[in-house]
A and B are shown apart, each in its own frame.
Chain A
Amino acid sequence: MHEYIAIAVLIGLATLIALIAIVLGELFGPKKKSAVKSMPYESGMDPYGEGTRRMPVHFYLIAVLFILFDIEVVFFLPWAVVFRKLGLFGLIEMIIFIAILLVGYVYAWKKGALEWE
């Protein structure tokens, strides 16, 4: 259990230092409000439009497709680790796996799901 004590001390110290900085600033800092100061921060640009405006639906479609193909990569990792032990059979298995993924990819492509407009 005691290996966690160091972490607890670290968390405590970090919280303490952060609190001290905030309290000192609050006590001694000047407080002047202006329109520019209360503007939302967008990396120095002047904000335009609402923060909650709608995204085109197509954005979600692409995101969904990305998740689907992205998550399959997780199966490549364990396969790559034991690739040599699996030999030829493992290679053929992976070719089948990729072929199935390709079927989905070609389908999405031909259906026009990857075009922006």
Chain B
Amino acid sequence: MMSFSDFTTILPLVVLTAWACVLLLVDLLIPRNRKGITALFSALGLALTLGLTIAQLGRQGSGFNDMVVLDGFSVFVNALLLVSGLLGVALAYGYVKRMGLERGEYYTLLLFSVAGMMLMAQAADLIVVFLALELLSIPLYILAAFARPKVESEEAGLKYFLLGAFSAGFVVYGIALVYGATGTTALSGIVAAIPSSSTLMLTIGAALILVGLGFKIAAVPFHMWTPDVYQGAPSAVTAFMAAGAKVAGFSALLRIFATAFPSLGSSMSDVLWALAALTMIVGNLIAISQSDIKRLLAYSSIAHAGYILMAFVPFGNPDVRAVSVAAGLFYLVSYAITNFGAWGVVIALEKAEGRGLALDDYAGLGRKYPALAAAMTIFMLSLIGLPPTLGLVGKFYLFRAVIAGGYVGLAVIGVLTSLISAYYYLRVVVIMYMREGEPTTTSEPYLNMTTAFAALVTVIVSLVPAPLFAWASSAVLKLF
């Protein structure tokens, strides 16, 4: 039987959802030309929720008959998701006004999506995983199509929807098979039931869940939708989608596989190995030929899904899985922050009608806007994994964990593909500094703040990464 104490385990989530519901109604009263107020309220809600989440640090518990769980892992991921939400609102604030998309629903949908992601991080039952997956995806479908009279955006929304619904079908079929094999959908119950259940059905179920979530995190060969959707969707939405959906998808994968299916490690590790290697290679190779910054970042996002997948390969090995999951979490933070910064620069240069997005439009940025160009250089270095940035530290922890797990070949592929990626990331830097051009940018206070924040975090945390890694390590302790 449930009781009100169950609510305390998901208190931040409840507050955020209630806030979003009320904001949806409050927004009806705000006049059309003052939707900035809605943005402010949504940021306030996210900040309040972030405070409540931080207050949960160190607490353990589960609620609603073990449907949801509160642990270090969920607090860590939720904090990252809420920061992503805040950065997403900050990026959108000026952008939607400038592009003429200012509608209050933008911020409400963003809040609902963050709520879905948080539920994903706290899910301890496969039913909740499915529910959270839909709650985070459905608002994202709408947000992708948010620049509505623009055909590209509507198409991006439709494509994202069709592929997303398709992948949800795989996830839920996989969950049904796991339920059939073990007789339960609770992650803890599945572990207990595995010794006496049909291995074949369980393996197929787990594989289908992997395929479905593979679509969500844009792993090759389930990545086809990514470049189109990232390019067509409004840039502020893409920035949030790239960070938030990836963090949520990976947190679900980490929790499901690490807590429910460690016994499948021997059979799944090879598949994950191939998936990670393929994602890194394909993502980085196709990115080379891109001339549009949004598509470039889309393929970069695919490639980074591959790096994070590496953290997953040793999930069945009890000696290294804790350190590799912690490395995966750390890398998620580094990718999310860098990603928001890079998109911030893209948004600063983007003009109406989709102009200002070609790589050539970045020519001369170094001379005319040195601060912006310096920030972009930091983000590009971080995406490659060069010092002095967070990307380097993230890759270091990742490769170390993977090598400790005995997958030296995978680490070599990771290093080699990073070298390939240096080519196209550095090309952006070269264009900014070496070529003549007259770029124009838009300077908005919140946008500048986001970019500066991301650049500072990328550099400073890379100099003292130990506290963040220690937090990530302690977050995964109770996971297994």
Nearest chain B residue, comparing its CB with the CB of A110: B28
Contact of A89 among B3, B21, B24, B28 (CB under 8 A): B3
Number of chain A residues whose Cβ lies closer than 8 Å to a Cβ of chain B: 8
B22 contacts which chain A residues (CB < 8 A)?
A: 103
Docked CA distance A110–B1 (Å): 38
Which listed residue (A89, A93, A107) contacts B25, Cβ 8 A? A107
Tell yes or no: B2 within 8 A of A by CB: yes
CA distance A107 to B20 in the complex (A): 12
Nearest A residue (CB) for B17: A100
Complex interface: chain A residues within 8 A of B3 (CB): 89
Which residues of A, 63-117, contact B by the 8 Å Cβ criterion? 89, 93, 100, 103, 106-107, 110-111
Do residues B24 and A107 form an inter-chain contact, with CB atoms below 8 A?
A: yes
Beta-carbon nearest neighbor of B20 in chain A: A103
Bound-state CA distance A107–B3 (Å) is 30
Q: Report the Cα distance A110→B2, complex, angstroms.
A: 35
Once bound together, how far apart are the Cα atoms of A103 and B1, in whole Å?
Answer: 27
* Residue pair A103, B25 in contact (C-beta under 8 Å): yes
The residues of B that contact A100 with a CB separation of less than 8 Å are 21
Interface residues of B in 19-35 (CB under 8 A from A): 21-22, 24-25, 28
Residues of B within 8 A of A110 (CB): 28
A107 and B28 contacting across the interface, CB-CB below 8 Å:
yes
Question: Of A89, A103, A106, A111, which one neighbours B2 at CB under 8 angstroms?
Answer: A89
* Residues in chain B near residue A106, CB distance under 8 A: 25, 28
Size band of the interface chain B makes with A: under 10
* Residue of B whose beta carbon sits closest to that of A93: B2
Find chain B residues with CB under 8 A from A111 CB.
Answer: 28
Alpha-carbon separation in the docked complex, A106 to B3 (Å): 29
- A111 to B25 Cα, complex, angstroms: 10
In the assembled complex, which residues on chain A have CB atoms less than 8 Å from the CB atom of B24?
103, 107
A85 to chain B, nearest CB (A): 9
Residue of A nearest to B1 (CB): A89
Contacts of A89 in B (CB 8 A): 1-3
Q: How far is the CB of A24 from chain B (nearest CB, A)?
A: 49
In whole angstroms, how far apart are the Cα atoms of A106 and B26 in the complex?
Answer: 11
Q: Nearest CB to that of A109 among chain B residues?
A: B28
- A55 vs B22: C-alpha distance when bound (angstroms): 35
Residues of the A chain whose Cβ atoms lie less than 8 Å from the Cβ of B21: 100, 103
Digit string of B1-43 for contact with A (CB within 8 Å is 1, else 0)?
1110000000000000000011011001000000000000000
> Bound state CA distance, A2 and B22, in angstroms?
60
Residue on A nearest B4 in the bound complex, by CB: A89
State A89–B3 Cα separation when bound (angstroms): 7
| A93–B28 CA distance with the chains assembled, in angstroms | 26
Across the two chains, which residue of chain B brings its CB closest to A111?
Answer: B28
In the complex, A110 Cα to B28 Cα: how many Å? 7
Q: How far is the CA of A100 from the CA of B28 in the complex (A)?
A: 16
Complex formed: what's the CA distance from A103 to B25 in Å? 7
Chain B hits for A107, CB < 8 A: 24-25, 28
Q: Closest CB-CB distance, B65 to chain A, in whole Å?
A: 13
Q: What separation, in Å, do the CA atoms of A20 and B183 have in the docked complex?
A: 51
A100 to B22, CA, bound (A): 10
The distance from the CB of A44 to the nearest CB of chain B, in whole angstroms, is 42
Question: Besides the contacts A103-B21, A107-B28, what 14 more A-B pairs have beta carbons closer than 8 Å?
Answer: A89-B1, A89-B2, A89-B3, A93-B2, A100-B21, A103-B22, A103-B24, A103-B25, A106-B25, A106-B28, A107-B24, A107-B25, A110-B28, A111-B28
Cβ contacts A to B, 16 pairs, < 8 Å: A89-B1, A89-B2, A89-B3, A93-B2, A100-B21, A103-B21, A103-B22, A103-B24, A103-B25, A106-B25, A106-B28, A107-B24, A107-B25, A107-B28, A110-B28, A111-B28
**CB-CB nearest 10 A-B residue pairs:** A103-B21, A110-B28, A107-B24, A103-B24, A106-B25, A103-B25, A100-B21, A89-B2, A107-B25, A107-B28
